[in-house]
Amino acid sequence: MSETTAVLALADGAVFRGRAFGAKAEASGELVFNTSMTGYQEILTDPSYEGQLVAMTCPEIGNVGVNGQDVESRRPFVRGFVVRNYCDVPSSWRAERSLGAYMAEHGMPGIAGIDTRALVRHLRDHGAQEAILSSVDLDAERLVRRARDVPSLVGRDLVREVTCGEAYEWTEGPWVFPGGPAGAPAEPSGRRVLRVVAYDFGIKRNILRRLVGVGCEVRVVPASTPARAALALAPDGVFLSNGPGDPDAVAGAREIVGDLLGAVPVFGICLGHQILSLALGGRTFKLKFGHHGGNQPVQDLATGKVEITSQNHGFAADADSVRGRAEVTHINLNDRTVEGLAVPGQPIFSVQYHPEASPGPHDAEYLFRRFVDLMERA
Catalytic residues: 270, 354, 356
Q: Residue 69: count other Cβ atoms within 10 Å of its Cβ.
A: 11
Do 346 and 262 meet the contact criterion of CB atoms below 8 Å apart? yes
Contacts of 314 (CB under 8 A, 6+ apart): 30, 32, 128, 153, 286, 287, 289, 290
Contacts of 228 (CB under 8 A, 6+ apart): 259
Sheet holding 327-332, edge to edge: 168-170, 216-222, 194-200, 237-240, 266-269, 348-351, 338-342, 327-332, 284-300, 306-317
d(CA 375, CA 195): 9
d(CA 123, CA 126): 5
d(CA 319, CA 315): 13
CA distances from 191 to 55, 196, 211, 233, 264 (A): 44, 15, 14, 21, 19
- Give which of 224, 258, 230 is closest to 243, Cα–Cα: 224
Contacts of 280 (CB under 8 A, 6+ apart): 261, 322, 325, 326, 341, 343
- Using DSSP's 3-state secondary structure scheme, residue 376 falls into helix
Strands 80-82 and 109-112: parallel
Amino acid occupying residue 341 = L
- Residue 138 CB-density burial (10 A; 0-12 exposed, 13-18 middle, 19+ buried): middle
d(CA 108, CA 163): 20
Helix 205-213 and helix 366-377, axial crossing angle in degrees, nearest 10 = 60
